[in-house]
Structure 1
């Protein structure tokens, strides 16, 4: 039995209410009435192929991935649109500024500004990352406060003097050892 409703199983041509079929084949949904007429005019024993090498139809994950990717605009398109909108906005601001400079306000004052206006510029991603890395390195280079308190300074002086005394005693022992072995040559 053939169904004229526009969808159904390709083998039995029966309208399927719950989207399930007794056959293992796929079910087709027709969007144009001409496609239904072509299917109906074909012989029931003919095998109908949906996708060929010349005209492939995406299905499953590939189809969903393509639909998902189409939902978002490409970076180049978005950046081009942003640049054009920003340039239009900048032009409007310049025109407003020029008009405001020439016309006096309610009290009769005219605003005077310098002729140069710094336009904002976009930094490249690499430059901003390099700046972040440089700032981290600079922070690491900065020494911590050593000997901030008075007692810390006094203690470091005492420790330094103790080290000097210790080295002096070691040098004295070494010189006496060299004299004892008669290898002492001061000059």
Structure 2
């Protein structure tokens, strides 16, 4: 069913259809309970243009940039907007600005251990990163995190989004339908999937702030289970670092003292290998031409100096041989 055209009252000035490179598309917001009558059928204007960032990417030609999105916009609501009311274009993904409140960044908790064959093939850098991740702190996921105290996510006023379509044809078709809707003043209704807005949102926030004890208990149990497993992994890593020298031949001194004697032979061998490597990579004395010339001069001066010393010693021997020593 085609959307109806908006009736323009006499004497009213129609809003602009474009500003700069953006096309202005009016959306009719749904009415909320608790609001006065004049707030019904309120208009919200979004600004759409082809996405053209300063650093081009592979998805530029099949994406649109939308500014001033509704505060309750979600990926599913934007998908429904283009699929139902703007030509049926297929959306691949939607990227928003940071919501309010921001989503918690959970670290990945990996319970399965890699096999021995895979561990031998991994490089030293990757091993070092995984060890640092283990020793970093408690890993949280959705099970061990505290329950959310807000019913849904909202965006800041004036936030933007990048809508990426499945192909270039869908992006061009969506932009064409936006131009047509803005020109003909079609009624585009905004359908939000987030029902917790207005007073109901804060009522839900008050209820979620005090969750039941069973929900908190399950979250705490998951947190403590991960903490115990991670603490054992950190202790194992500390014990290994106390006795095994690193690439430079140093042994890590960690909290709690040494668990056993350090491997002195391995440390000395690492030190010798490091010195041999430095000596091998050092600049040699006969690398440049002037070094060879200076070296030959030094050898020649040494020969001359020894020749003069030998000549003087022979002269002293001859003088001593010709003298008559009286008997005493």
Shared fold, TM over 0.5: no
Q: Which has the higher contact order (CA 8 A, sep 6+)?
A: 2
| TM-score of the two chains, using structure 2 as the length reference | 0.19
> Which structure: larger Rg?
1
**Which structure has the highest helix share of the two?**
1
Q: Return the TM-score normalized by structure 1.
A: 0.30
Q: Of Structure 1 and Structure 2, which has the larger fraction of its residues in strand?
A: 2
